[in-house]
Amino acid sequence: MAQSILPAVRDVTALRDAVRAWRKAGLRVGLVPTMGALHEGHLSLVRAAKERCDRVVASLFVNPRQFAPHEDFERYPRDEGGDSQMLAGAGCDLLFAPERGVMYPEGFATSVIVADVSVPLEGDFRPHFFGGVATVVTKLLLQCLPDVALFGEKDYQQLLVIKKLARDLDIPVEILGCPTVREHDGLAMSSRNAYLSEDERRIAGRLNLILHDAIKAVRHGAPIADAEAEASRHLTAAGFTVVDYVAIRHAETLAPVSDASSARILAAAWLGKTRLIDNMAV
Amino acid sequence: MAQSILPAVRDVTALRDAVRAWRKAGLRVGLVPTMGALHEGHLSLVRAAKERCDRVVASLFVNPRQFAPHEDFERYPRDEGGDSQMLAGAGCDLLFAPERGVMYPEGFATSVIVADVSVPLEGDFRPHFFGGVATVVTKLLLQCLPDVALFGEKDYQQLLVIKKLARDLDIPVEILGCPTVREHDGLAMSSRNAYLSEDERRIAGRLNLILHDAIKAVRHGAPIADAEAEASRHLTAAGFTVVDYVAIRHAETLAPVSDASSARILAAAWLGKTRLIDNMAV
Note whether A14 and A43 are same-domain residues: yes
Chain-chain contact of B164 with A110 (C-beta, under 8 angstroms): yes
Q: What is the pLDDT of residues B69-108, one digit of tens each?
A: 999 999 999 999 999 999 999 999 999 999 999 999 999 9
Q: Looking at the domain assignment, is residue A242 inside a domain?
A: yes
Of B2-6, B17-21, B36-40, B244-248, the range with the lowest mean pLDDT is B2-6
The answer on pLDDT for B261 being more than 90 is no
Cβ neighbours for A112, distance < 8 A, ≥ 6 positions apart? A131, A134, A135, A138, A165, A169, B110, B111, B112, B113, B169
The pLDDT profile of chain A, 282 residues, written as one tens digit per residue, is 445 689 999 999 999 999 999 999 999 999 999 999 999 999 999 999 999 999 999 999 999 999 999 999 999 999 999 999 999 999 999 999 999 999 999 999 999 999 999 999 999 999 989 999 999 999 999 999 999 999 999 999 999 999 999 999 999 999 999 999 999 999 999 999 999 999 999 999 999 999 999 999 999 999 999 999 999 999 999 999 999 999 999 999 999 998 888 999 999 999 999 999 999 999
Residues of chain A whose C-beta is under 8 A from some C-beta in B?
12, 16, 105, 107-117, 134-135, 138-139, 142-143, 145, 164-165, 167-172, 253
Specify the CATH number for the domain of residue B213: 3.30.1300.10
**Burial of A231 (C-beta count, 10 Å sphere; 0-12/13-18/19+):** buried
Question: Which run of H or of E encompasses B268?
Answer: strand B263-271
Task: Note whether B172 contacts A115, CB cutoff 8 Å.
Answer: no
Residue A247, C-beta contacts closer than 8 angstroms, at least 6 positions apart? A120, A121, A228, A265, A266, A267
3-state secondary structure of A132: helix
Are both A230 and A269 inside the same structural domain?
yes
Which residues form the domain of B26?
8-178
Closest CA–CA distance from residue B12 to any residue of chain A (Å): 9
> What amino acid positions of B are annotated as catalytic residues?
42
Calpha distance B247→B228 (Å, rounded) = 6
In a domain, A183, yes or no: no
Q: Looking at the 3D structure of chain A, how many domains does it have?
A: 2
Q: Do A110 and B115 touch (CB under 8 A)?
A: yes
Identify from A12, A31, A104, A111 which residue to disrupt to test chain B contact, counting B C-beta atoms within 10 A and taking the largest count.
A111
Q: Examine the predicted complex and report whether its ipTM is higher than 0.90.
A: yes
| Angle, alpha carbons A212-A232-A214 (nearest 5°) | 25
pLDDT of residue A2: 45
pLDDT at A259: 85
Is there a single domain that holds both residue B72 and residue B166?
yes
For residue B87, tell me if it sits in a domain: yes
Give A18→chain B minimum CA distance, Å: 15
Distance, in Å, from the CA atom of A268 to the CA atom of A109, rounded to the nearest integer, reads 31
Residue A70 placed within a domain: yes
In this structure, are B59 and B167 located in the same domain?
yes
Query: pLDDT by residue (tens digit) across B105-156?
Result: 999 999 999 999 999 999 999 998 999 999 999 999 999 999 999 999 999 9
* Residue B3: pLDDT over 60: no
Q: Which residues of B touch A168 (CB under 8 A)?
A: 108-110, 139
CA B224 – CA B211 distance, rounded (Å): 12
Same domain, A196 and A158: no
Other Cβ atoms less than 10 A from the Cβ of A233: the count is 13
| Chain B: residue whose CA lies nearest to A171 | B142
Contact A31, A59 (CB under 8 A): yes
Q: Which residues of B touch A107 (CB under 8 A)?
A: 116, 164, 253
| Long-range contacts of A167-171, Cβ-Cβ distance < 8 Å, separation of 24 or more | A167/B105, A168/A114, A168/B108, A168/B109, A168/B110, A168/B139, A169/A112, A169/A138, A169/B110, A169/B112, A169/B135, A169/B138, A169/B139, A169/B142, A170/B12, A170/B139, A170/B142, A170/B143, A171/A138, A171/A141, A171/A142, A171/B142
In a domain, B3, yes or no: no
Most B CBs within 10 A among A110, A142, A162, A167, hence the mutation to make, goes to: A110
The answer as to whether A262 is a domain residue is yes
The answer to whether residue B184 is domain-embedded is no
Residues A87 and A18 in one domain: yes
Residue B2's pLDDT band (cuts 50, 70, 90): very low
Residue burial B17-28, b: 16+ Cβ < 10 Å; e: rest: ebbeebeeeeee
Residues A60 and A155 placed together within one structural domain of the fold: yes
Q: Out of B157, B178, B199, pick the residue that ends a domain.
A: B178
- Of A128, A157, A178, the residue that ends a domain is A178
Average per-residue pLDDT in chain A? 96
In angstroms, the separation between the Cα of residue B20 and the nearest Cα of chain A is 12
In a domain? residue B146 = yes
Closest CA to A239 of A279, A206, A268, A275: A206
Task: Give the pLDDT score at A4.
Answer: 64
Interchain contact, B110 vs A107, CB within 8 Å: no
B40 is in an annotated binding site: yes
Residues B160 and B236 placed together within one structural domain of the fold: no
Q: Are both B29 and B57 inside the same structural domain?
A: yes
Q: Which of B154, B178, B202 is the last residue of a domain?
A: B178
CA distance B90 to chain A (A): 28
pLDDT value for A1:
42
**Residues that constitute the known binding site of A:** 35-42, 66, 152-155, 158, 181, 189-192
Distance (Å, whole) CA B53 – CA B49: 6
For residue B190, give every residue at least 6 positions away whose Cβ sits within 8 Å of its Cβ, in sequence order, or none: B39, B41, B154, B276, B277
Judge whether B39 is annotated as a binding position.
Answer: yes
Residues B226 and B133 in one domain: no
Work out whether strand B242-250 and strand B263-271 pair parallel, antiparallel, or are unpaired: antiparallel
Q: Best interface-test mutation with B: which of A147, A170, A252 has the largest number of B CBs within 10 A? A: A170
Give the burial string for B239-275 (b: 16+ CB within 10 Å, else e): ebeebbbbbbbebeebeebeebeebbbbbbbebeebb
Closest by Cβ to A114, choosing from B109, B142, B169:
B109
Q: What CATH number does residue A54 fall under?
A: 3.40.50.620
Q: Are residues A99 and A210 in the same domain?
A: no
Interchain pair A164, B110: CB under 8 A: yes
Q: Do the Cβ atoms of B150 and B29 come closer than 8 Å?
A: no
Q: Are residues B200 and B260 in the same domain?
A: yes
